[in-house]
Amino acid sequence: MAELLAADLHLLSTLHDQVLRESGAADIALLLEQITADPAAAETAIDALGPEDSGSLARALAVRLHLSNLADERERARAIQHEQPAAPDADFGDELWPAVVSATAEGTQEVLGRLRIHPVLTAHPTEARRRAVATAVRRVADQLARHDDPRVGAAERWVARRRLLEEIETLQRTSSLRTTRPGPLDEVRTVLTVFDQTLVRAVPRLYRATEVALVGERSGAIPTPVPAFVRFGSWVGGDRDGNPYVTADVTRQAMALQAEHALAALLDAVERVGRTLTEDESDTAPSRALQESLARDAVGMPDRMSQIRLASPGEPHRQKLLVMAERIRATRAGLTEHSYTGPEQLLDDLRLVQESLQQAGAARAANGELQHVIWVVETFGFHLAELEVRQHSAIHREALIELIGQLPGVHDAAAAADDEAFLDGLATDGWPEGVVARSDRAAEVLDTLRVLEWLQSRWGQRSCGRYVVSFSQTSAHLVAVRALARLAVGDRPLRLDVVPLFETGEDLHGATAVLDGWLPLRSTQDWLAGTGRAVEVMLGYSDSAKDVGPAAATIALSEAQSRLVAWAGRHAVGLTLFHGRGGSLGRGGGPLHRAVTAQPPGSVDGRLKVTEQGEVIFARYGDTTVAQRHLERMTTAVLLADTAAVAERNASAAQRYADLAATVERASREEYRRLVETPGFADVLADASPLEEIGELRLGSRPVRRSGAESGRSLSDLRAIPWVFAWSQTRANLPGWYGIGSGLSAVGDIELLQRAYREWPLMAALLDVAEMSLAKSNRMLASLFLSLGGRSDITEQILAEMDLTRSLVLDVMGQSELLERKRVLAATVTARAPFVDALSRLELRALTHVRTDGESTPWRSVLLLAVNASAAGLQNTG
């Protein structure tokens, strides 16, 4: 397969060079060649460029990296299609997926019945590409596939080559920088392209692959044993924590957009399958139930039914599918006469046809593509993804103080807003008459809860019912949402699943105490009675790592999960842990499947809910084949995590290396806090990185800082995402490894650490992420960036910890070089390194000019172009 990747890279690079030469940029094409062949000589040439030529080089490097990413994506898809592992160092090959499913065969229904894979797509601003750039890259991919199709002749291949040149020229001339900041609904539309292009096809393929693993050649000939175990969530248009642009009306419109795309996909699927069900009634007799259903349709829509019968005489199963298509159209248009009231009605119709075909002996027709449509409805409903709301606990408290202050006899509204018993009374008994929101912020909080109720009445309870509370630090922070909801919607039915989010190291440690205070409340008990005692708890990876460093956060998260599992067991609660992981190395990134199988025993229990954000969404779900494989690997990991062997391995290793973990946690946290608490540290980051300029890239609708301020140097105010993004640009990648060297050094026993790495998956996952983060760093460039901060003491501290961490990570792994055992990944990083390093040099020069010459310097645009381009090369930006 490697030769095909090399051929793709050679063709795309050759065509890009031709485009540059034809546009009069032969010097840039020559410099690109020099960067690869002789990086040292290229450094001198780059340092001699003026701002205009530097900008041209940055744009060309961005295109070259986008094309390289495209070639890698094609290679991954090819590896999957040829049933080979994507890499020799991959953790799960193709043979493992059916083996794991087959291993559960004795208890298949029980295992699959509780299985739930639940990715949640977020709008966190880390996808640096404009939608126009991403679309242009996709058109290049389409023409490259056409060019490589072995079925076409020379003439067709020549046409594809011409079109490739045209599309690469368009990509080269498309601005990589956004001129306006996208709004929340723009972000919704961007994410919806993933559902349209890949997910509605990848998910039924996943279910079918599971079925094949279980029943082999009988797949498609018997009723499926595989339920629809995937659900998608979305924060896009619902996450208002720190984003003033996400309003109640935006949330309503976001769901309207989702529903439109869901119904469009269902209409397409129903019509497509309906066209194939041409079985004649003389050979495939309809069931009595189907005949009666069609008779009712003839009464309800006589004109349309007459047309359908005329077009499909004697084909009752096809007729019923065409009726369904008509009703879906009515649902999309909001026409109540013929529309479905919900996806359950559509499922009833589909199963009616399926059972009729089964009774008539047409088993393949019953359990083939028709089953795919059923799976799509079960997975996506009419809402596509479950839209989740998130808000900061401080916003709720502020609204409550205003509202409680209107209650007679309350003398201290702030104290009442912190009293969970008082709030529980409001949630269960209701509010007195006359309490109204007087400020815009309080009105918005209440309107958001009213929108949840409206959406559920329009699109069903699954559409929008989870409410994530950021910085849940007391039980009052949780019951506050129910108290506010009671005022907003009164006694009207509302499914409201309050999800606490524990983010900092301290919050993780105190999570069970918060839940202990929340659980006995009447409002909580009433809610639990309606959910089967199911509770969801979200764990924040990015803020915990930013708070205490990657090693301490990893260990704290593991320990918190163990405590939460024990808590759930004590209280007979069905616990789902929601992992707020990012794609970046400083936000819990790295191979997701390895992280899942490293979790403490009992913490998975057949359920995986995890955030997917920014660049990761398109990397994992941008291609149907890759998306299917990613979902398969998630499913495999969840099934593996529940096996006795894995649970015993993780439990015994955690106990065996508990003292080691405590030492690593303490020493790494102390070293990390010593750095970030150094006076002036925030200024160093601001001066040595494009931190202040990240907002100008207009990556997303949400402000860089929680307060919404455009500037300022408070680490507590700075979001974890731009924190990671800024460090990646300095080439230090500090959030992915800082403090780990000090933690390992404190243990002082290399052989013990080596055993822990081999035997304890949590330690292996931690060091593997650190290894990748260090591999994408560059010590020399990092020192040059850090020198801009003017604090040699801080620079020396960071570089010393980098050297220590690199040395000890290699010693523990038993390697002489980073990524030594990950050959494919190493080759990818090495291939990009000359281009990324060249961009870093451009960025360093531009940043120096911006810091010394002021904002009006022409180097400012060079800086933004270089930052945007390096994001494409580093691929773990935040």
Q: How far apart are CA 501 and CA 479, in angstroms?
A: 14
Active site residue 124: yes
Distances from the Cα of 305 to the Cαs of 296, 331, 411, in angstroms?
Answer: 10, 17, 67
Report the 3 state secondary structure along 770-807.
Answer: HHHHHHCCCHHHHHHHHHCCCCHHHHHHHHHHHHHHHH
Q: What is the DSSP string of 487-543?
A: HHHTTS----EEEEEE-SHHHHHTHHHHHHHHTTSHHHHHHHHHHTSEEEEEEESHH
Q: Around Cβ 205, how many Cβ atoms within 10 Å?
A: 18
Q: Reduce the DSSP state of residue 118 to 3 states and report it.
A: strand
Closest CA to 274 of 373, 205, 376: 373
Fill in the amino acid letter for 111.
V
Q: How far apart are CA 795 and CA 188, in angstroms?
A: 41
Q: How far apart are CA 620 and CA 630, in angstroms?
A: 6
Counting Cα atoms < 13 Å in the Cβ hemisphere of 357 gives 31
Helix or strand (DSSP H, E) at 206: helix 200-215
Q: What is the DSSP string of 246-262?
A: --HHHHHHHHHHHHHHH
Q: How far apart are CA 298 and CA 359, in angstroms?
A: 23
- Would you say 258 and 292 are in contact if contact means Cβ atoms under 8 Å apart? no
Rg from Cα positions in the chain: 28
**Which segments of 610-657 does DSSP mark as H helices, in order?**
614-621, 624-641, 644-656
Residues 6+ away with beta carbon under 8 Å from 370: 273, 277, 350, 353, 354, 357
Of 124, 396, 593, 630, which residue is the catalytic one? 124
For 701, list phi and psi in degrees, rounded to 5.
Answer: -80, -20
Fill in the amino acid letter for 260.
E
Q: How far apart are CA 520 and CA 12, in angstroms?
A: 63
Closest CA to 613 of 581, 590, 578: 581
Q: How far apart are CA 568 and CA 560, in angstroms?
A: 12
Total residues belonging to the chain: 878
- Would you say 664 and 743 are in contact if contact means Cβ atoms under 8 Å apart? yes
Fill in the amino acid letter for 10.
H
First to last CA, the chain: 31
Q: Which burial class, exposed, middle or buried, applies to 48 when counting CB atoms under 10 A from its CB (0-12, 13-18, 19+)?
A: exposed
Torsion of CA 19, 21, 23, 27, to 10 degrees: 130
- Would you say 581 and 588 are in contact if contact means Cβ atoms under 8 Å apart? yes
- Would you say 477 and 393 are in contact if contact means Cβ atoms under 8 Å apart? yes
Q: Look up tokens 């160092």; give the residue.
A: 89
Q: How far apart are CA 736 and CA 877, in angstroms?
A: 11
Q: Reduce the DSSP state of residue 457 to 3 states and report it.
A: helix
Q: How far apart are CA 667 and CA 687, in angstroms?
A: 28
Q: What angle do CA 573, 578, 579 make, to 5 degrees?
A: 140
Query: Would strands 607-613 and 116-122 be described as parallel, antiparallel, or unpaired?
Result: parallel
For 639, list phi and psi in degrees, rounded to 5.
Answer: -65, -40
- Would you say 472 and 478 are in contact if contact means Cβ atoms under 8 Å apart? yes
Q: How far apart are CA 200 and CA 447, in angstroms?
A: 32
Q: How far apart are CA 18 and CA 236, in angstroms?
A: 40
Which residues are annotated as catalytic? Answer: 124
